[in-house]
């Protein structure tokens, strides 16, 4: 269904010049790109002047919305003082130091050191390299495999994409996945068996994790990586007790738990970190996105003291710690990170998320009643609305039917930008959204669903 008028001049320039990420390339010209010109608060405006509520915070990242003057000022000041510097070879600069100190202060577990990257993918790539480096340092050269999960999303660099458990990140890309193992996705609605309770489902998939480790050999497995709430796999909230049981299995085999907080972190789930909402105890942490409120790219890896000491000992033996990105810890990103965290604290953004979460939940529960909706799941201010062909049997639509993207386009017509992940419509509005704006977003979602029926 084409809901767009003929391409405007700027849309034509767009399709002539850009290779778009995560886009069905063969349909781009037919559908027409939505070219966004400006944003203010939770709203963005396209080049035709149409207003949208940005119900996804861009890509789960613009948590303070658009046009936030305090961030603009912090960025301008940093650009004037020191527009670029780096941390290679023992150089330092205050924005990176200050942000690392802040991260240590708010971290969910004791953290010794912060390593900066430019993105979430680079953070997770770094996590894997660090796990390998650590096990080489500890004299365990065989302990290198990484466990991830079906439907996980950890990024697009070669290793992060290998960790990702989504078909379109693997099909056609020839990834070297031999050191990566994928275990069950903790999604009860979709993968729970007939007559199985949620607790039984949890016990079954944790047993399957344990069996996988035994089969492969615990001495070959370095780490498991997990997003507390799985985001780009369709906003999947694991059952209560899942992470505690997973951690017990990992601890028994000396396998570290890498917590991917790239989407969950900085208030999204109603706590600073998703792991705190989901009862997960991480060993190391990846962060990005809302760390700078998305006003500049930045990622981070946080590690505890014992692991850091292993790097130091290894460096003493083999020389320079040979890893780092030109823009890792860019002063602009770090200055914005410091300011964003200060705003989260001063304006009590997490308190605001907690206050709005029941309103969000109530509207999601109402959306769940719609005949096209199989499940509407949520945590804090993130949610996923899974569309199904048959509500009673949970039968999904034919994957080729493209129902999710079609509904997302209808929603855009109603002025709501939401993201189709297969047939799940994801919601992740800026955390500063007001109750009235949230109500308007859901009204637009419900109008779109009514049109789609
Ligand atoms: N990890 C998670 C959980 C993500 O959701 C994403 C991106 O959406 C990434 C990692 C990759 O981050 P980036 O796109 O900044 O490389």
Confirm whether 1 is domain-assigned. no
Strands 180-183 and 145-149 turn out to be: parallel
Answer yes or no: do 50 and 83 share one domain: no
Does residue 3 have a pLDDT over 90? no
Q: Which atom of ligand 1 is nearest to the CA of 297?
A: 15
Q: Where are the alpha helices (H) located in 152-197, listed in sequence order? A: 158-163, 167-170, 188-191
Does residue 177 have a pLDDT over 80? no
3-state secondary structure of 423: coil
Q: How far apart are CA 324 and CA 307, in angstroms?
A: 18
Confirm whether 24 is domain-assigned. no
Does residue 1 have a pLDDT over 50? no
- Between these two residues, 28 and 196, which has the higher pLDDT value? 196
Element (H, E) at 36: strand 36-40
Does residue 30 have a pLDDT over 90? no
Percent of the chain with pLDDT over 90: 94
Ligand 1 shell residues, CB under 6 Å: 59, 119-121, 124, 153-155, 227, 231-232, 260, 262-263, 288
Beta pairing partners, 181: 147
Q: What is the pLDDT of residues 396-409, one digit of tens each?
A: 999 888 999 999 99
Report the b/e string of 48-73 with b at 16+ CB within 10 A. eeeebbbbbbbbbbbbbbbebeebee
Query: Could you tell me the two tokens for 134?
Result: 């650590």
Answer yes or no: do 320 and 364 share one domain: no
Pocket test for ligand 1, best of 60, 63, 120, 291 (most atoms within 8 A of CB): 120
Answer yes or no: do 336 and 222 share one domain: yes
Answer yes or no: do 289 and 395 share one domain: no
Burial of 136 (0-12, 13-18, 19+ CB in 10 A): middle
**Least confident range of 13-27, 40-54, 93-107:** 13-27
Answer yes or no: do 133 and 270 share one domain: yes
**With contact defined as beta carbons under 8 Å apart, do 426 and 383 qualify?**
yes
pLDDT of 5 reads 72
CATH number reported for the structural domain that contains residue 430 in this entry? 3.90.1150.10
**Least confident range of 64-68, 213-217, 251-255, 401-405:** 401-405
Spatial neighbors of 272 by CB under 8 A, at least 6 apart, are 106, 108, 265, 266, 350
Report the b/e string of 384-416 with b at 16+ CB within 10 A. bbbbbeebeeeebbeeeebbbbbbbbbbbebbb
Query: Could you tell me the two tokens for 104?
Result: 């240590």
**With contact defined as beta carbons under 8 Å apart, do 315 and 329 qualify?**
no
**With contact defined as beta carbons under 8 Å apart, do 126 and 154 qualify?**
no
Does residue 4 have a pLDDT over 60? no
CATH number reported for the structural domain that contains residue 294 in this entry? 3.40.640.10
Distance between Cα 226 and ligand 1 center (Å): 12
Does residue 56 have a pLDDT over 60? yes
Confirm whether 2 is domain-assigned. no
Where is the domain boundary, 322, 346, 370?
A: 346
Answer yes or no: do 255 and 384 share one domain: no
Does residue 176 have a pLDDT over 80? no
Where is the domain boundary, 346, 370, 385?
A: 346
Where is the domain boundary, 302, 326, 346?
A: 346
Distance between Cα 377 and ligand 1 center (Å): 20
Q: How far apart are CA 117 and CA 297, in angstroms?
A: 9
3-state secondary structure of 421: strand
Confirm whether 26 is domain-assigned. no
Looking from the CA of 315 toward its CB, the CA atoms found within 13 Å total 12
Reading phi first (left if > 0) and then psi (alpha if -120 to 50, else beta), residue 344 is in: alpha
Confirm whether 243 is domain-assigned. yes
Confirm whether 3 is domain-assigned. no
Q: What is the pLDDT of residues 413-453, one digit of tens each?
A: 999 999 999 999 999 999 999 999 999 999 999 999 999 88
Answer yes or no: do 137 and 194 share one domain: yes
Averaged pLDDT, 165-192: 93
Q: What is the pLDDT of residues 83-120, one digit of tens each?
A: 999 999 999 999 999 999 999 999 999 999 999 999 99
Answer yes or no: do 246 and 357 share one domain: no
Confirm whether 387 is domain-assigned. yes
Answer yes or no: do 249 and 100 share one domain: yes
Torsion angle in degrees (nearest 10) through CA of 308, 210, 282, 379: 160
Largest Cα separation within the chain, whole Å, is 65
Distance between Cα 202 and ligand 1 center (Å): 26
Distance between Cα 121 and ligand 1 center (Å): 6
Number of domains forming the structure of the chain: 2
Answer yes or no: do 103 and 163 share one domain: yes
Pocket test for ligand 1, best of 57, 155, 165 (most atoms within 8 A of CB): 155
Does residue 6 have a pLDDT over 90? no
Answer yes or no: do 123 and 226 share one domain: yes
In terms of residue numbers, what domain contains 404?
A: 34-67+348-452
Confirm whether 13 is domain-assigned. no
3-state secondary structure of 146: strand
Does residue 2 have a pLDDT over 80? no
Answer yes or no: do 323 and 390 share one domain: no
Does residue 255 have a pLDDT over 50? yes
Q: How far apart are CA 96 and CA 98, in angstroms?
A: 5
Query: What phi and psi values does residue 196 have, to the nearest 5 degrees?
Result: -85, 130
């Amino acid at each position: 269904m084409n809901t767009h008028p003929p391409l405007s001049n700027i849309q034509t320039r767009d399709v002539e010049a850009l290779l778009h990420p995560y886009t069905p390339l063969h349909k781009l010209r037919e559908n027409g790109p939505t070219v966004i010109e400006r944003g203010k608060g939770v709203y963005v405006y396209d080049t035709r002047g149409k207003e949208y509520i940005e119900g996804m915070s861009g890509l789960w990242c613009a948590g303070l919305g658009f046009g936030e003057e305090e961030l603009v000022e912090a960025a301008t000041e940093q650009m004037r003082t020191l527009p670029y510097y780096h941390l290679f070879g023992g150089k330092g600069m205050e924005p990176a130091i200050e942000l690392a100190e802040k991260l240590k202060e708010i971290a969910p577990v004791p953290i010794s050191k912060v390593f900066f990257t430019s993105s979430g993918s680079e953070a997770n790539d770094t996590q894997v390299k660090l796990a390998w480096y650590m096990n080489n340092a500890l004299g365990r050269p065989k302990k290198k495999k990484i466990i991830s999960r079906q439907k996980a999303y950890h990024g697009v660099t070669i290793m992060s994409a290998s960790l990702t458990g989504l078909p379109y990140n693997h099909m056609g890309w020839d990834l070297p996945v031999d050191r990566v193992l994928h275990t069950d996705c903790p999604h009860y609605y979709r993968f729970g068996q007939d007559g199985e309770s949620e607790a039984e489902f949890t016990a079954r998939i944790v047993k399957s994790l344990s069996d996988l480790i035994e089969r492969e050999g615990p001495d070959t497995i370095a780490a498991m990586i997990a997003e507390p709430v799985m985001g780009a796999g369709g906003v999947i909230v694991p059952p209560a007790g899942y992470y505690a049981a997973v951690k017990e299995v990992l601890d028994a085999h000396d396998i570290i738990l890498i917590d991917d907080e790239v989407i969950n972190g900085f208030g999204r789930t109603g706590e600073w970190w998703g792991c705190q909402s989901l009862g997960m105890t991480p060993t190391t942490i990846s962060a990005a996105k809302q760390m700078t409120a998305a006003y500049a790219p930045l990622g981070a890896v946080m590690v505890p003291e014992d692991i850091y000491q292993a790097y130091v000992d290894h460096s003493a033996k083999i020389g320079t710690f040979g890893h780092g990105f030109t823009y890792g810890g860019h002063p602009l990103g770090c200055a914005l990170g410091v300011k964003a965290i200060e705003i989260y604290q001063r304006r009590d953004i997490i308190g605001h998320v907690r206050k709005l979460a029941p309103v969000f939940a109530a509207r999601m529960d109402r959306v769940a009643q719609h005949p096209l909706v199989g499940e509407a799941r949520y945590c804090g201010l993130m949610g996923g609305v899974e569309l199904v062909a048959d509500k009673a049997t949970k039968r999904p639509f034919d994957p080729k039917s493209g129902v999710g993207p079609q509904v997302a386009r209808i929603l855009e017509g109603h002025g709501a930008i939401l993201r189709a992940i297969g047939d799940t419509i994801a919601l992740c509005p800026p955390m500063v959204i007001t109750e009235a704006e949230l109500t308007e977003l859901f009204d637009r979602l419900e109008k779109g669903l009514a049109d789609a029926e």
